[in-house]
Amino acid sequence: MRKYSVAVLGATGMVGQKFIQILSNHEWFDIKSLVASEKRVGKFYGEEVEWKVSANVPEKVRDIEMLPMDPKKVDADIVFSALPSDTARKVEADFASEGFVVASNASAFRMEKDVPLMIPEVNPEHLGLIEVQKKNRNWDGFIVTNPNCTTIILVLSLKPLMDLGLKRVIVSSMQALSGAGYPGVPSLAIMDNVLPFIKGEEEKVEEEPLKLLGKFNGSEVEYADLTVSASCHRVPVIDGHLEAVWAEFSRDVEVDEVIDAFNSLKPLDLPTSPEKVIIVRKESDRPQPRLDRDEGDGMSITVGRVRKDSSNAIKYLVLGHNTVRGAAGASILNAELMIKEKLI
């Protein structure tokens, strides 16, 4: 397979850096362009970036000169977007209208009716919205989005439960500091503390699963008949979102059949896909962020403490790496699926 040239929008931020870290050794992709804010244009990436995601800036991107957010200046088959949502609304549309494939981590277009909101193991058929989007907007290119980091971790665990008659979910999240970007939360606000509110987070976690778990009817997505109620909290952990989930079903369910359902979610034959999507731990004190967030190179989720609450309800914990499976890795997996489906 030939290598596809890629660009990263918002290359200097936390998620942009994670994109670069993963893409630097990717067998299908070759980083050609890095796009940043106006003040960084013309500067070399390795000299300008405050690198935060590993020990060193990857050698292959050190001497790349950063470009403006102008599609006429960028040459790439695929554009990965780590832009803030307010910026992404215009910039991603500009790139898509000029014929680029945009794989976005931003929230700007997630809930648009003609834009796929994707988790490849959950709703690959939603890529059918691409042709609807191109026709509606008269674009030569298109935008495909991945969900909020907390949503991805939750929905990967919910997908296999849908066939058991899942009807209502209550989730309480304990979210890592890296989800707030850099420099993120002030140290004196989070040390010895838990912040009980993350602006806009609960709305995303309650709304996005309904689209992700819905059915594509050929022209739009019919939202899932499911109720999700969320409480989201910031905790003093660097990486890894841990979520306590209560799931109610339309019938009596047993722990064993729920665990069998978790184990049934199959990985994809794609470079970034983990060998096992959901890892089920039997220990009473797992999952834990420090011990489990890097499973599957950060692309697996880990489920534990699966237990019965009532005849038709189960509760469990689920953990995932928020900047890998919940952000950059999610967009990259979406792009891999689009290549496999010959949409790029």
Annotated catalytic sites, by residue?
149, 241
d(CA 127, CA 150): 22
d(CA 320, CA 144): 22
Place of tokens 């674009």: 139
DSSP 102-115: EEE-SSTTTT-TTS
Q: For 160-234, where are the alpha helices, taking DSSP H only?
A: 187-190, 201-212
Structure token digits, residue 344: 């790029």
| DSSP H or E run through 95 | helix 85-97
Running DSSP on this structure, what letter comes out for residue 48? H
Rounded to 5°, the CA angle 229-333-79 comes to 105
Q: What is the torsion angle, in degrees rounded to the nearest 10, for the CA atoms of residue 269, residue 159, residue 176 and residue 16?
A: 40
**Which long-range contacts does 181-185 make (Cβ < 8 Å, 24+ apart)?**
181/13, 181/14, 181/15, 182/13, 182/14, 182/50, 182/52, 185/234
Amino acid, res. 294:
D
Rounded to 5°, the CA angle 334-123-157 comes to 95
Q: Are 28 and 46 in contact (CB under 8 A)?
A: no
